[in-house]
Amino acid sequence: MLCVVVLLIAFLVVGSSKLCPHQCSCYEASELVDCRSRGLTRVPHSIPHGTWLLDLSGNKLNMQVVHSKALCSLTFLEKLDLAYNELRVLPPDFCQGLTALKDLKLSHNALGRLESHSLEDLESLERLDLSHNHIQVIEAGAFRGLTMLKNLNLAWNQLSILQGGLLTMQQGLGVLLLHHNNISKIETKALAPLQTLTILNLEANQLRSLKFKTFLNLQTPSTHLQMSGNPWACDCELHRVFSKILLVRHLHVDDYMNITCHSPLLLAGASLGLMHSQLCMAETATVLVITGTVMVTVVAALVMAERKRKKQKMNLEKQGNDPMPWESYK
């Protein structure tokens, strides 16, 4: 009888360790919890404490449901998928306690901004996917606690500027995806902290020009840049910037020949890589014309001044040879 009781207790203990929300499927002793596309409007209860992968994608979670500390008991969680929901805001401290989390997917939601404290507890996070949202504002310090981040996806949002100080703590960031935003300006020191960046995607933004110093500050072993699909204003200065970038050994513009001009209208659709000589020739011709005009003007002024000087000298000499008025009465 004693053996039966012991076995029953053991069964209850093991069974309790494998609790699983009835809306979800659990695998490998409840360490993998699959709640994909179950029509959930809230984070389910009874998620096993030892869960390391939680997939909540494709549901109808909203800002009221993913509330502060909603997942704080999942201290072993390494992967969390909240993609394809209806999240509009990340409440402060919603990820408190998720100190083991390495991969967070928040893509295809309705996030409009990132608050400064929403992600600060994710000290182990290596991958963050925020693509396909409506993010216009990222508050200063929003990524401050993400010191282990290696991959940051902000593609398909509505960012208009890449500001300095945003990625100060991301020295280990390897991939930064910013394509399909509205970025028209990159501040000079925005990329300076990124010491291991290997891929920077800036395709399909609103860039018209660049500052070479912005990329010169990028001190990395090797970085591949993608910048086609922007409305580039092609002139000799833009060509000079790209020419300098191409000469920097650790910078590689992967799509240089696909970078096309948007303006001036005469060059619209033309490849910058194929038009560089014409751009600078036109500018050189203009400079030569202006220089020639200035030189002609200066020479003409000197000739006129010399003629005037000679005329004045002749008048003085003539006056010196003429008799004085009283001498005519002698």
Give phi and psi for 31, each to the nearest 5: -85, -20
Q: Is 286 exposed, middle or buried (0-12, 13-18, 19+ CB in 10 A)?
A: exposed
Please, are residues 51 and 72 in contact by the beta-carbon 8 Å criterion? no
Q: Give the SS3 label for residue 261.
A: strand
Q: What is the pLDDT of residues 233-276, one digit of tens each?
A: 999 899 999 999 999 999 999 999 999 999 999 889 999 988 76
Domain ranges for the chain: 20-137, 159-279
d(CA 225, CA 218): 11
d(CA 80, CA 102): 8
User: pLDDT truncated to tens, each residue of the chain (330 aa)?
Assistant: 433 333 333 333 334 346 889 999 998 766 999 999 999 988 888 888 889 999 999 999 886 556 656 688 889 999 999 999 999 988 877 788 899 999 999 999 999 999 998 898 899 999 999 999 999 999 999 999 999 999 999 999 999 999 999 999 999 999 999 999 999 999 999 999 999 999 999 999 999 999 999 999 999 999 999 999 999 999 989 999 999 999 999 999 999 999 999 999 988 999 998 876 566 765 544 443 444 455 655 665 666 766 777 666 676 666 666 555 545 444
Please, are residues 284 and 252 in contact by the beta-carbon 8 Å criterion? no
Cβ within 8 Å of residue 127, ≥6 positions away: 102, 103, 104, 149, 150, 151
316 to 302, 309, 320, 326: CA distances (angstroms): 21, 11, 6, 20
Query: Does CATH number 3.80.10.10 belong to domain 20-137?
Result: yes
CATH number for the segment(s) 159-279: 3.80.10.10
Please, are residues 223 and 200 in contact by the beta-carbon 8 Å criterion? yes
| Fold match between domain 20-137 and domain 159-279 | yes
Give the residue from 51, 55, 56, 94 showing the smallest Cα distance to 75: 51
Question: Helical H runs in the chain?
Answer: 2-17, 212-216, 236-247, 272-321
For 220-255, letters b (16+ CB in 10 Å) and e give eeebebbbbbbebebbbebbebbeebeeeeebebee
Q: Are strands 151-153 and 32-34 parallel, antiparallel or unpaired?
A: unpaired
Check whether the bond before 92 is cis (ω within 30° of 0).
no
